[in-house]
Copies of this chain bind each other. A is one copy, B any other.
């Protein structure tokens, strides 16, 4: 049975970290909400599933994954589940745990990137919180982007197996997620990301290596890869970069 991924059909968002893992592993999956409505796709069907009163384990928010009897929400928990099945969780307990720790730190960076355009309320429009967004984005650009990226650089540099991967010498979901974080920062904050990445050559190399992996390359060229846009987490607002 194909994995069923349930996520907003028009953005990369948090679902993209799951899509990338499934694509990089060549897994059989259905991106359910992107199907035509006649086949169960669309945002309203997604909303109905999320609110399904018969599902005792409905997730707090998309993404969630269905695999037979397993229903699991929260991006990092989905990757925790998929990781060993897709061969993307490193080798052994210690590396699996390290991979997950890295994923959670990437998730923290992603949440902070989101809050640059929604520093006051996720329920209000960006335009109604732009002044605070400008302030928060400045702190994110000047302090947080360099701090996160230099920490990932350190992890790569200190990897006893070399700086090609975050954990050991195999591809993990953390590598794929770091690719996506860097991709998103380059989209949303082209100037600030370029400055920070100039000091993190191993992160730059990892990003380039992931991009040229055959399955990832094919995915990124395909219509399955949704373009970055201003409904997602990484948004390009010129006033937030600098």
B57, A77: Cβ atoms closer than 8 Å: no
B124, A101: Cβ atoms closer than 8 Å: no
Tell me which residues across on chain B come within 8 A of A119, comparing CB atoms.
115, 119-120, 132, 136
A93-115 to B contact mask, C-beta < 8 Å, 1/0: 11001101100110010010001
* Pick from B73, B139, B159: contact of A121, CB under 8 Å: B139
A33-47 to B contact mask, C-beta < 8 Å, 1/0: 000000000000000
Q: Roughly how many angstroms separate A136 CA and B151 CA in the complex, as a whole number?
A: 29
Given known pairs A105-B74, A120-B132, the reply for A69 and B94 (CB within 8 Å) is yes
A72, B60: Cβ atoms closer than 8 Å: no
Tell me which residues across on chain B come within 8 A of A81, comparing CB atoms.
97
A53-76 to B contact mask, C-beta < 8 Å, 1/0: 101111110000000011011101
- Is A80 in contact with chain B by the CB < 8 A criterion? yes
Tell me which residues across on chain B come within 8 A of A104, comparing CB atoms.
74, 76-77
Closest to A160 in B: B56
Closest to A139 in B: B121
- Is A209 in contact with chain B by the CB < 8 A criterion? no
Q: Is chain A's binding surface mostly helix, strand, loop or mixed?
A: helix
A56, B159: Cβ atoms closer than 8 Å: yes
* Pick from B100, B111, B154, B160: contact of A77, CB under 8 Å: B100
- Is A199 in contact with chain B by the CB < 8 A criterion? no
- Is A226 in contact with chain B by the CB < 8 A criterion? no
- Is A123 in contact with chain B by the CB < 8 A criterion? yes
Tell me which residues across on chain B come within 8 A of A72, comparing CB atoms.
97-98, 101
Q: Roughly how many angstroms separate A135 CA and B72 CA in the complex, as a whole number?
A: 33
Closest to A124 in B: B139
Residues of chain A from 115 to 133 with CB closer than 8 A to chain B in the complex: 115, 119-124, 129, 132
B60, A80: Cβ atoms closer than 8 Å: no
A79 nearest CB across to chain B (Å): 11
Tell me which residues across on chain B come within 8 A of A70, comparing CB atoms.
93-94, 97
Question: What are 22 A-B contacts with C-beta separation under 8 Å?
Answer: A53-B158, A59-B101, A60-B108, A60-B148, A70-B94, A72-B97, A72-B101, A73-B101, A73-B105, A74-B105, A76-B76, A77-B104, A80-B100, A108-B111, A111-B111, A119-B119, A120-B135, A121-B135, A121-B139, A123-B143, A124-B139, A129-B135
